[in-house]
Amino acid sequence: MKHSHRGFTLVELMVATAVFAIFMVGMLNLLDTSTKVSQVESSLADTQENVRFAAYHVMRTARMMGGGGMPMAAQTVNGNNWVSGELATNQQGLVSIPGFDNVSVKQGTDVFTVRGFFEIAPFFTEPGDYQGGVVNVREQNKDDQLINNFGNFSLDSLEGRGIVFMGRGQYCVGEIGAGNVFTGDEPDRVLVLQHGDGGDGSLFESLNEVTSTYPPSFPISRVGVLDSYTFFVDPQNRLMRARVSGAVPRAEPVAVNIGGLQIALGLDTSDPLDGQVDVWKSAPTVGEVMADQVAGMRLTVLGRSPVMVPDWAEPDSTFEIEDGTAQNIQPGYKWRRIEVATALRNFRYPKPEDQ
């Protein structure tokens, strides 16, 4: 019996190789497309989380401002000034912010400064504990009761920060100097805080109203260490937080892939004031917010995915913001948007003549 040992011809091998190559190219293209889609979706999910965190962080900080009786804006020693909050709309390029000469800001975004809040709980004092440029904060009262908690308190980075003196319906702001110390032993220590006016019409002294300038001329009941943050978006699409804390101010990123920040203040325009928002202002003036009118804040944060998507056109509705001035919006990227509103607690104490 004869057996056939005939194999594949060269033509058959070439055809089979070509078919296999076409199949592999298709599979690789499919895998590449799937990988790119996965990268886009993953980066978009990260961007969404960054947008949410950015909005939460700004809102949380804004809701704390106004402590110590500081109004949003007032007739101050330097004229009509922003006080516990400050809103600069649609900035670009190099912008001067409190405590800094200049920072780089992404075109068309807002810059928002929050003051009058305390990361260290304010301390109780007695009127006699204030003497000139020194205030003595006691850990216990005369009955040996703990009235101030120094357990987690550090003297580091106090110099250069603000100090707020609070009285019945009054406040004033100074600046903490050097040489702050503890005297005595736990649990009966005394915190000796040195303070002054900064000597040059400093950031904190300028927050005082005309009727309540530094130094305090009223009985003091509490003393607080003032914190101040300024939020802005830089050209690298980062939400930045500039902090005036200690002798050297610093700016640090809060969230990445942030392409826009827009803020509107809700004003109570009723007479008498009822604490409800009657109108939203995307670019309010100091005069519009001087009469304790600020009742809420609306925040819009835009996030931009870092992965480019060819031929992608983001819907125009994504960029519909308070004043219609969204700028520097780059095509070919997917965006995420979040808009949140909150009531702002008004810590403004009643003035003595109103009591």
Q: Between the CA of residue 331 and those of 92, 290, 318, 326, what are the distances in Å?
A: 20, 41, 12, 13
pLDDT of residue 350: 47
Whether the pTM exceeds 0.85: the reply is no
From the number of C-beta atoms within 10 Å of its C-beta (0-12, 13-18, 19+), residue 195 rates as buried
**Residues 160 and 247: beta-carbon distance below 8 Å:** yes
Any idea where the domains of the chain sit in the sequence?
43-74+82-115+228-354, 123-226
Q: Say what the pLDDT of residue 351 is.
A: 46
Tens place of pLDDT per residue across the chain (355 aa): 555 556 667 776 777 777 777 777 776 676 655 556 566 667 778 888 999 999 999 999 998 888 888 888 888 877 888 988 899 998 888 988 877 878 999 988 999 999 888 888 899 998 788 888 899 999 998 888 899 988 778 888 788 888 999 988 788 899 898 899 999 998 889 999 999 887 666 778 888 888 778 888 888 899 999 888 999 999 999 999 998 765 567 889 999 999 889 999 999 888 887 888 899 998 898 988 887 688 899 999 998 888 777 777 777 777 776 665 555 566 778 888 899 998 887 655 444 444 4
CA dist., res. 241 & res. 66, Å (int): 18
Q: What string of DSSP letters covers 128-154?
A: GGEETTEEEEESB-TTS-B-S--TT--
CA distances (Å), 347 to each of 56, 72, 117, 184, 270, in order?
Answer: 21, 10, 10, 34, 19
Which two structure tokens, joined as six digits, stand for 142?
């005369």
CB 260 within 8 A of CB 108: yes
Q: What confidence score (pLDDT) does residue 200 get?
A: 64
pLDDT at 265: 93
